[in-house]
């Protein structure tokens, strides 16, 4: 197993992409702390309609070890508690996956400043906060990894000014932190998903979804497991000499842009 006995934190791990990453980590032998604002998974109107079991229960059914830690990524004390709880339970931290994020629709004239602050606050500030608190622990690991989940909208507009800006910033934040921690052999990489079948897509119309289907060259949408497998690669020894990289996992979407 590629991640046997490694200890991972996955933010936003109760649902969607985060859930997919946590499950794939567990399949590869990692012990996983699932951090989220709520433990029960979200159910969507297009995707994940029947998802009811918690991520922790699914990991335990696989024979793995996992804990849920309720965490508000906007709260520094809560993030500090997440790290302390994980270390107390498992003995350290080897992998941080910054997946938690939100999307609020609206162009520059429609989105309120409160919603701008909510989106950028979680999608960028929350990522930085988790990194800031985690780095002292990751430096102690023999296989320290930070994996940040961005989006194909880091490279192109279309998802609203707050979301696209924050996701682009995450990719560059990864490069900056990669330089900071390289001397400690900690790697920092970014995954940029395309359309993934999760409840987060609920804000779209059926016409929007069909347009996304037409814009994806491979003949299916992505699944949380697809991002999970990419995250396993970055977390494993196979990627020990890769840092500061951004990987698109998008069914070919960016190839045509």
Burial class (CB in 10 A: 0-12, 13-18, 19+), 185: middle
Q: Tokens 């990453």 identify what position? A: 21
Question: Which residues have C-beta within 8 Å of that of residue 210, sequence separation ≥ 6?
Answer: none
Distance (Å, whole) CA 207 – CA 213: 10
CA distances to 95, 99, 121 from 102, in Å: 22, 10, 10
The Cα–Cα gap between 144 and 186 comes to 5
The secondary structure of residue 47, as a DSSP letter, is S
- Long-range pairs for 164-170 at CB < 8 Å and ≥24 separation? 165/120, 166/101, 166/119, 166/120, 166/123, 166/124, 167/123, 167/192, 169/124, 170/98, 170/123, 170/124, 170/127
Beta-bridge partner residues of 146? 96, 188
Of 72, 76, 100, 71, which is closest to residue 86 (Cα–Cα)? 71
Question: Which pairing describes strands 66-70 and 187-193: parallel, antiparallel, or unpaired?
Answer: unpaired
Residues known to be catalytic: 163
């Amino acid at each position: 197993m590629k991640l046997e006995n490694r200890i991972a934190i996955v933010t936003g791990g109760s649902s969607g992409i985060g859930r997919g990453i946590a499950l794939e980590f567990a399949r590869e032998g990692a012990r996983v702390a699932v951090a989220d604002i709520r433990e029960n998974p979200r159910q969507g109107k297009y995707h994940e309609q029947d998802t009811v079991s918690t991520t922790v229960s699914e990991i335990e059914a696989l024979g793995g070890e996992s804990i849920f830690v309720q965490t508000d990524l906007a709260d520094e004390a809560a993030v500090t508690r997440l790290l302390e709880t994980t270390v107390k339970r498992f003995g350290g931290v080897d992998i941080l996956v910054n997946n938690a994020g939100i999307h609020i629709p609206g162009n520059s004239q429609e989105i309120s400043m409160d919603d701008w602050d909510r989106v950028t606050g979680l999608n960028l500030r929350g990522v930085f906060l988790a990194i800031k608190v985690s780095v002292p622990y990751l430096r102690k690991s023999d296989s320290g990894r930070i994996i940040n989940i961005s989006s194909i909208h880091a490279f192109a507009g279309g998802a609203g000014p707050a979301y696209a800006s924050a996701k682009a910033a995450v990719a560059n934040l990864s490069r900056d932190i990669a330089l900071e921690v390289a001397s400690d052999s900690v790697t920092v990489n970014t995954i940029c998903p395309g359309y993934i079948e999760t409840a987060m897509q609920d804000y779209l119309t059926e016409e929007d979804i069909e347009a996304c289907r037409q814009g994806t060259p491979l003949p299916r949408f992505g699944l949380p497991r697809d991002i999970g497998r990419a995250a396993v690669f970055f977390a494993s020894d196979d990627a020990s000499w890769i840092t500061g990289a951004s990987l698109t996992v998008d069914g070919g979407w960016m190839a045509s842009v």
